[in-house]
Amino acid sequence: MTKPLRKAVLPVAGLGTRFLPATKAMAKEMLPVVDKPLIQYAVEEARAAGIQQFCLITGRGKTAIVEHFDIAYELEATLRMRHKEAELRMLREAQLPPGAMVTVRQQEPMGLGHAIWCARAFVGDDPFAILLPDDLVLSETPCTQQLAEAYYQTGGCVVAVTEVPRDQTNRYGILDIGADDGRLVEVKGLVEKPKPEDAPSNLSIIGRYVLRPEVMQYLGMLERGAGGEVQLTDAMAKLIGQVPFHGLRYEGRRFDCGDKIGFLEAQIAFALKRPEMAAQVHAFLKNYV
């Protein structure tokens, strides 16, 4: 029987060096797109897919993220006194039920695979989603929901994939593909950051996954891969052949908000989706550019 997908792991322990100096004293995941921090987009997307339990993998300097999901009594009292009902509602909507979020500290940033392994007690024997908050997906159906549907359909691991330019394969986890119906792709192999000449395809994994818990036993070997880091891609590759493993060409557009250009593009795209500001932003862009 396919177990229901109720858990998500959100790794936020990276150093965010591409965003220095902004990330010197502030977590990258708290950077706002329009008016909402990246981490909140990720949590909302997961909740829309039926996820109820969250594990944040944190590191030094990330306490603001934990604060963000706590109740802010004094702020709420002040807002109430000033009759700021809309703002109060906004805070409440972002609130998680008590006990829905736990945090685990990754003491050293040894790579994404190591960060995920830190959640092994939380994951237990259950399937789980992974959302990298710096990847933001603008779509009709939330990306994690699309993955969850594919997980229920296949019963195995599903990763969100997109085509990248051939000369950029050395930045991503790349698929070696089998059967392909144009949407769901059978994964025959996975390689982390291959050189363009060695890349088996140009289909790349983005920061959305639904994995079976068996991946933890391979992560636990703590083998170092590309860049000397414990790579999630390497552990996932070991699952191929044991459980169904697919890539999903999700509907939507991904913005890499860990990168300056991607972050700026996301600001514009998300602002243009907001009815109260779209016209003004559009007019500004037209005149300014």
**Which of 33, 132, 190, 210 is in the footprint of ligand UTP by CB under 6 A?**
132
Q: 18 phi and psi, to 5 degrees?
A: -70, -10
Q: Which is nearer to ligand UTP, 15 or 283 (CB)?
A: 15
Q: 217 phi and psi, to 5 degrees?
A: -65, -30
Q: What is the largest CA-CA distance in the chain?
A: 63
Q: Which is nearer to ligand UTP, 115 or 159 (CB)?
A: 115
* Number of amino acids touching ligand UTP (CB under 6 A): 22
Nearest approach, Cβ of 171 to ligand UTP (angstroms)?
Answer: 9
Q: Give 65-74 contacts, CB < 8 A, sequence gap 24+.
A: 65/12, 65/27, 65/29, 65/30, 65/37, 65/39, 66/103, 68/30, 68/37, 68/39, 68/40, 68/94, 69/43, 69/94, 69/95, 69/96, 69/101, 71/95
Residues 6+ apart with CB under 8 A from 202: 163, 164, 165, 166, 169, 174
Nearest approach, Cβ of 75 to ligand UTP (angstroms)?
Answer: 27
Nearest approach, Cβ of 213 to ligand UTP (angstroms)?
Answer: 19
> Which residues pair with residue 173 across a beta bridge?
192
258 interacts with ligand UTP by CB under 6 A: yes
Please choose, out of 5-13, 85-93, 167-175, 197-205, the segment that lies near ligand UTP by the rule CB under 6 A: 5-13
**Which of 13, 187, 205, 271 is in the footprint of ligand UTP by CB under 6 A?**
13
Nearest approach, Cβ of 116 to ligand UTP (angstroms)?
Answer: 8
Residues 6+ apart with CB under 8 A from 228: none
Q: Which is nearer to ligand UTP, 63 or 280 (CB)?
A: 63
**Which of 5, 9, 12, 148 is in the footprint of ligand UTP by CB under 6 A?**
12
Residue found by looking up tokens 């790794």 in the block: 11
Contact 245, 224 (CB under 8 A): no
> Distance (Å, rounded) from C-alpha 173 to C-alpha 64?
30
- Which residue's CB comes closest to ligand UTP? 14
14 interacts with ligand UTP by CB under 6 A: yes
Considering only residues 54 through 113, tell me which ones interact with ligand UTP, judged by CB under 6 A. Answer: 57, 106, 109-112
Sign of CA pseudo-dihedral 80, 83, 87, 92: positive
Nearest approach, Cβ of 87 to ligand UTP (angstroms)?
Answer: 29
Q: Which is nearer to ligand UTP, 12 or 281 (CB)?
A: 12
Nearest approach, Cβ of 248 to ligand UTP (angstroms)?
Answer: 20
**Which of 15, 90, 102, 278 is in the footprint of ligand UTP by CB under 6 A?**
15
> Distance (Å, rounded) from C-alpha 137 to C-alpha 41?
9
137 interacts with ligand UTP by CB under 6 A: no
SS (H, E, C) 86-129: HHHHHHHHHCCCCCCEEEEECCCCCCHHHHHHCCHHHHCCCCEE
Site map (CB under 6 A) of ligand UTP, residues 209-248, x = contact? ----------------------------------------
User: Which residues form the interface with ligand UTP (CB under 6 A)?
Assistant: 11-19, 28, 57, 106, 109-112, 114-115, 132-134, 258
